[in-house]
Structure 1
Amino acid sequence: MSAETLLGQEPWIRLASFLAVLMVMAAWELWAPRRAPSVGKAWRWLNNVGVVALDSLLVRLLFPAGAVALGAWVEDQGWGLLGWLGLPFWITLLVAVVVLDGVIWAQHWAFHKVPLLWRLHRMHHADPDIDVTTGLRFHPLEILLSMGIKVLAILALGAPAVAVLLFEVLLNATSLFNHGNVRLPLRLDRWLRLVVVTPDMHRVHHSWHRDETDSNFGFNLPWWDRLFGTYRAQPRDGHQGMTIGLHAFRDPRWLRLDRMLLQPWSREADDPAADQPTPD
């Protein structure tokens, strides 16, 4: 597929893959849920989907060309590390996807460790339940910052358009998958998490215990957490007994879209200890 054809089909490829995974995960959650919801699902879903609609609109307005178009440009110009190395295309593709995933892991880690960035990211963690729509729930400012980081990574790396599209599709699909409130056979989960972040693995990251929140940062590949010592296999309270979310945002009013967007400026969580209880 030529770069021109790819760019023409890119929005439809991304939309089709997104809707397909979303529908599969939503059906799976109905068929085999891992946990019972703690709040009304319809209201949460409405507001979480509202966030991703706003995010998508802002990205299209502020980055009209998109990451894939940038990949086509750097490929055409021979820009970036991979362009200079002149590796076979399949190696370039593989390296680009893995490195971009590592960049997203590092970005996620930074959004937990830098207080100003955590203010943006905590909207994602304030969801009192975790399901497929939690994978859509990111503050617009975080999405825009993430897009800027991705642009810099593509430029520096010289990631070609096909690699960028593949990475974007995989990232969106795995984010929906690993936030899913779905039950997997334990043996399958143990094997699967060797190559991809599973729902049980990522659910630990949404615990309200601070040390568990600061673990399992991966969205797609699980290797970075194992490599950098941030991997945690299971939540201390068990998947059924653990509390999801942040202590400071338990009030159901924070589920509203307008309140979610204001969370970075909320004084209710100015004290870092208010975000999460001290570990037992």
Structure 2
Amino acid sequence: MNAALEPMLRLGVFATMFAVMAIWEVLAPQRRPVIGRARRWPRNLALVVLDTAILRAVFPTASVGVAMLAASRGWGIFAVLPAPRWVVFGASLVLLDLAIYAQHVVFHLVPPLWRLHRVHHADPDFDVTTGVRFHPGEIVLSLLIKFAVIILLGAPAGAVFAFEIILNATSLFNHANVRLPARLDRWLRLILVTPDMHRVHHSVIRRETDSNFGFNLPWWDRLFGTYRAAPEAGQKRMRIGLDEFADPAELALWRTLLQPFRAAKGKKTVLF
């Protein structure tokens, strides 16, 4: 894996997938937007630019570089387990996805982590830009966790790169405001998290928010009992976001960046 080409390849896949999903949202939307793109998209996309700049400044080698370092030092489970390369590659993809699922659950359960993660959930609408709306603090912490998992597994650089590409693409797909035929969605969610499946996770109802944590594979939610087939109010009538941050003024970038350090309305102002 050429580490120098990695950012350009990721950017190319991201831009292509983003364009495809954005066009699909126009042609076949699942829901009527609550707030127009003109108000939401500049703020959400500004977060992407900020997150990327911070990551490249703090961690210039990113996940692929860590995988290459681990391989050169012989670190990780796969470095000592005799297994064919294709088995290691496939197992790395699956286990990295399990780690992302577990991390997502923990970010909902631990209050300080939820304060970072709720920036993602505070989006009052659900579309392709929601898939990239994350607080820089969460992005940095998530990358550090991913580094630890890569080193623990000894995941090969090629598998890490493939996982990163898949994760970015599926996050854009399953956050998109697109309509799929019911039968196709029912079959597709056996192997992939679909927009209708993940949209439940963005409900204002907390018991629905704490379900469907998967990004790529839907199996973990079914295995660990966090799967919910549909929202109580239905896909078109369900309410998206967080009630305590529903004011459109919360879309301002500075408010979004400070949100983890601000109390919700009616609550005591504390950091954690």
Q: Shorter-chain-normalised TM-score: which range?
A: over 0.9
Residue in structure 2 matched with residue 206 of structure 1 by the alignment: 202
* Change beyond 3 A, Cα 1:54–1:270: farther
Residue in structure 1 matched with residue 101 of structure 2 by the alignment: 105
Separation (CA, whole Å) in 2 of partners of 1:159 and 1:263 = 35
Residue identity opposite 2:21 in structure 1: M
Residue in structure 2 matched with residue 195 of structure 1 by the alignment: 191
The C-alpha deviation readout for 1:33-65, integer Å capped at 9, x for no partner, is 000000121120000000011000111111111
- One of 17, 21, 24 as aligned partner of 2:17: 21
Separation (CA, whole Å) in 1 of partners of 2:164 and 2:172 = 12
1:90 aligns with 2:94: no
Residue in structure 1 matched with residue 255 of structure 2 by the alignment: 259
SS in 1 for 2:3: helix
1:164 aligns with 2:160: yes
* Change beyond 3 A, Cα 1:271–1:226: farther
- One of 98, 113, 117 as aligned partner of 2:113: 117
SS in 2 for 1:241: coil
Separation (CA, whole Å) in 1 of partners of 2:39 and 2:231 = 27
Residue identity opposite 2:47 in structure 1: V
Residue identity opposite 1:13 in structure 2: L
1:145 aligns with 2:170: no
Would the aligned equivalents of 2:33 and 2:125 in 1 still touch at CA under 8 Å?
A: yes
Query: Percent identity between the aligned chains?
Result: 57
1:75 aligns with 2:96: no
SS in 2 for 1:7: coil
RMSD: 1.1
Residue in structure 2 matched with residue 278 of structure 1 by the alignment: none
Residue in structure 1 matched with residue 264 of structure 2 by the alignment: 268
Separation (CA, whole Å) in 2 of partners of 1:267 and 1:92 = 45
Separation (CA, whole Å) in 1 of partners of 2:11 and 2:254 = 26
SS in 2 for 1:267: coil
SS in 2 for 1:217: coil
Residue in structure 2 matched with residue 33 of structure 1 by the alignment: 29
SS in 2 for 1:184: coil
Residue in structure 2 matched with residue 43 of structure 1 by the alignment: 39
Would the aligned equivalents of 2:30 and 2:179 in 1 still touch at CA under 8 Å?
A: yes
CA shift for structure 1 position 12: 1.2
Residue in structure 2 matched with residue 277 of structure 1 by the alignment: none
Would the aligned equivalents of 2:21 and 2:173 in 1 still touch at CA under 8 Å?
A: yes
Separation (CA, whole Å) in 1 of partners of 2:255 and 2:267 = 19
CA shift for structure 1 position 271: 4.4
Separation (CA, whole Å) in 1 of partners of 2:265 and 2:91 = 40
Instruction: Between 84-93 and 190-199, report the one with greater CA deviation.
Output: 84-93
- One of 8, 11, 17 as aligned partner of 1:12: 8
Q: Please, what TM-score do these two structures have when normalized by structure 1?
A: 0.94
CA shift for structure 1 position 270: 7.2
Separation (CA, whole Å) in 2 of partners of 1:34 and 1:255 = 22
* Change beyond 3 A, Cα 1:257–1:160: same
Separation (CA, whole Å) in 2 of partners of 1:256 and 1:209 = 24
Separation (CA, whole Å) in 1 of partners of 2:169 and 2:79 = 27
Residue in structure 1 matched with residue 221 of structure 2 by the alignment: 225
SS in 1 for 2:185: helix
CA shift for structure 1 position 8: 2.4
SS in 2 for 1:128: coil
The structure whose residues are more often helix, as a share, is 1
Residue identity opposite 2:209 in structure 1: T
Residue in structure 2 matched with residue 176 of structure 1 by the alignment: 172
SS in 2 for 1:216: coil
Unaligned runs of 5+ in 2: none
Would the aligned equivalents of 2:3 and 2:61 in 1 still touch at CA under 8 Å?
A: no
